[in-house]
């Protein structure tokens, strides 16, 4: 895995904008996703290849993610 990043949609001032954050590992990707998009979904990418779509488990900002 070379160029890992997470991508997600954020609604800045009501306008959806796509954000991307480079991460050094899958483990760090989960931490960054939890901090930056705690209630939504994120995508994990390696270069131009999507590896997974991660969705937060339902309930009280759970640290668990569903991988799709």
**22-61 tens-digit pLDDT:** 999 989 988 888 888 766 789 999 999 999 998 877 765 6
In which band, very low, low, confident or very high, does the pLDDT at 1 lie, cut at 50, 70 and 90? low
CB atoms within 10 A of CB 60: 5
* Residue 14 falls in which region: left (phi positive, over 0), alpha (psi -120 to 50) or beta: left
**pTM of the entire structure?**
0.78
Q: How far is CA 27 from the centre of its chain?
A: 11
φ, ψ at 26 (rounded to 5°): -65, -40
């Amino acid at each position: 895995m070379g160029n890992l990043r997470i991508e997600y949609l954020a609604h800045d001032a009501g306008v959806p904008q796509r954000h991307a954050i480079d991460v050094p590992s899958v483990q760090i990707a989960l931490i960054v996703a939890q901090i930056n998009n705690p209630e939504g979904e994120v995508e994990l990418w390696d270069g131009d290849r999507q590896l997974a779509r991660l969705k937060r488990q339902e309930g009280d900002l759970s640290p668990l993610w569903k991988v799709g």
